[in-house]
Structure formats: C-alpha cells, structure tokens
Amino acid sequence: MRRDLVDLAARLSAEGRPYALATVVRSESPTSGKPGNTALITPGGGMHGWIGGSCTRSEVIRHALEALDQGEARLLAFGSTSGRPDDVVQVPMSCSSGGKVEVHINPVLPPPVLLVAGSSPIALALMRLGRAMGYTTVAATPEDEALADAADEVLDDLAGAAGRYAGRSAGAKLCGLVATMGRSDERALVELAAAKPDYLGVIASPTRMEEVRRVLAAEGLAEEEIARVRGPAGLDIGAESPEEIAVSILAEIVELAAGQRDSGSTDASTDAGAPSSEARATDPVCGMTVSVAGAPSSAFEGEPFYFCCEGCRDRFDATPEVYAASSAGGAA
C-alpha cells in the first residue's frame, strides 16, 4: 500500500471520517490492475490510488459506497461468471480485450459513539463496558469525577450534542442513553433526539415511561421520534445490578444494529453526510453501471446513452441500433 494512502487513511481515521479500501486480490491478463494495487474511496465518491483503468473504476466506486452504507465488506469478480462462491459479486468486464480481476472492498467506519446523559452507577457501568466494546464513550454533564475519568470525552452541554452529532458523516453511529434516573429525563431526551441518534434509550420503569412519553408529546416531539425512544432501555434478561443493566442495554444496541444489517435498511438519522444519489445508467455495450456525471456519452434516435469508457462508446457508435435494441439507455 502506497505511503500517501496510508497517510490519508490515518488522517481520515483521526478525524472520525469513513472510507473504503479497495484492493486487487487476483487478476488474469490482460488487465492493468495487479494484486496488491489499492485505492481509497471516500463517501463523496472520490478515489485515491490505483486498482486499474476505467473498466473497473466506476463499479468499484459504486460498490464501495454501498459497502460504506451497509457496513459490510464484499468481493467483486470482474469477468468471472462461473465457479465462484455465492457471496462473490459477479460484475461484467467492460474491456474488449478481456481479462479478469477480483477486488476486495472493505469499509472502514469510525467507532460508534455511546453518549450517556446523567450520573449514576449505571452510567458508569455503561462507560466502562462501552469502552471495552470499542465505542467512543462520551459522558454528558457528569457530576462525579469517576464518570468523567471513565469516559473518552466529556460533553459539558447536552444541548450542544445536536450541533456536534446531527451532521455526522455516513456510517458514524450515535447511541444515546439517558441515565438521569428521573431527574429531567424528558429534557435530556429532547436534547438527545435533536442529535438524531441511531439508538435512543432511557432508564425508567414502564410506569414512568408512560409519563415520559406524555411530557415528550407536550414538548412538541414528533410521534415517530417518541416511538423510537427505548424505554425501559435494554433487553429483558432479568438484570438487577448496574453492570447487568448496562449489559442488557448494550445487547439491545447490538441486536438492533444486527437487524438493520440483515434487512439492508438504514436509519434516516444517518443520511446527513451520506453520498448523494447521483444519476446512473447501464452501459449498453458491456452492461456496467456507470455514473452519468462525466461519463462518455452518445445518442441514438433522441435517446442518451452513457458508457464506462471511450472504447464502449466507439463500439456503440459503430452499430448503435444493435446495442440500443437491448437497452433503455437513459439515466436512472
């Protein structure tokens, strides 16, 4: 891996920004990408590095953005149509010269943030267990020194959480937990809800939660936002001690995240900073999906067509009626 890519990856990681690494793991001539070639793709679709020419570039970027959105790695097989495991993504090879290449895409996401409001033994247990699980732990307005020491960061003003986290980049997960134990629970929930967390929970009894929801509605919180509040927070595992309750809450967070991955859904709260849905089209010559912006293009009978490279466009222009007959051509 080139030193400039290592430096770029280190800088993005330090800034808490996501990126994807694409690495050529196998190739068969004639292809320009060779095993070990690596590129870094940012959420905006920018590519840094080298994994081959235009025959693979657009598809690698497209799949890298999907991997960032879904948080899962994938292996692309260009030009390979048989004899591969089901979990390998088959991609048409657009190069007329042929060749095969396999590219592994690995999303690198910032660690999730566990933001806990309130000072209590449960809040302290959440800080300690959350850090052990790889979360960036943030204590909001902690009242005791032990809680502040256990957190990675301290937030002096919970109201500032919205400005700090609502515009976070794609893939940056935020989990908010109110552990104020009945002291201004509703105000803390309203302030945390403004940060659009992926998980929002409160430690309260079922009876107390009825009052919390009534007050939240009176405060003007939307019905769908109130419905997203987990209360009592945590899975029902019979937890009693602060540590057991913390385990049940973190287990609920893990379970919900796993359910979103399995369903392929993403929460609207992660839309901020996500790559825009630019127009795409299918190259009528090779079948590759390409970004319309900046792609070579042509027209036939008033219909626009877009291509992964100049070579495909030249082949189309030679006999446009052949390729247009099997393709709708336009952007999606």
Residue closest to 253 by CA, chosen among 168, 177, 319: 177
Strand ranges, E, within 33-79: 38-41, 47-49, 74-78
Strands 47-49, 38-41: parallel, antiparallel or unpaired by DSSP? antiparallel
Q: Which class for 287: exposed (0-12), middle (13-18), buried (19 or more C-beta within 10 A)?
A: middle
The predicted structure's pLDDT at residue 11: 93
User: Residues in the chain, how many?
Assistant: 332
Give 76-103 pLDDT, tens digit per residue.
988 765 556 667 888 876 665 667 889 9
Give 111-152 pLDDT, tens digit per residue.
999 999 988 899 999 999 999 999 999 998 777 888 889 999
- Alpha-carbon span 70 to 330, nearest angstrom: 27
Residue 310, beta-bridge partner list: none
Region of 217 on the Ramachandran plot (φ > 0 left; ψ -120 to 50 alpha; else beta): alpha
| pLDDT range class, residue 270, cuts 50, 70, 90 | very low
pTM score, two decimals? 0.64
Give 40-84 pLDDT, tens digit per residue.
999 888 999 988 777 788 889 999 999 988 888 999 988 765 556
Neighbouring C-beta atoms of residue 265, cutoff 10 Å:
10
Structure tokens at 40: 């870094």
Residue closest to 245 by CA, chosen among 293, 203, 187: 203
Give 200-248 pLDDT, tens digit per residue.
999 988 888 999 999 999 988 888 889 889 989 999 999 999 999 999 9
Residue 153, beta-bridge partner list: 138
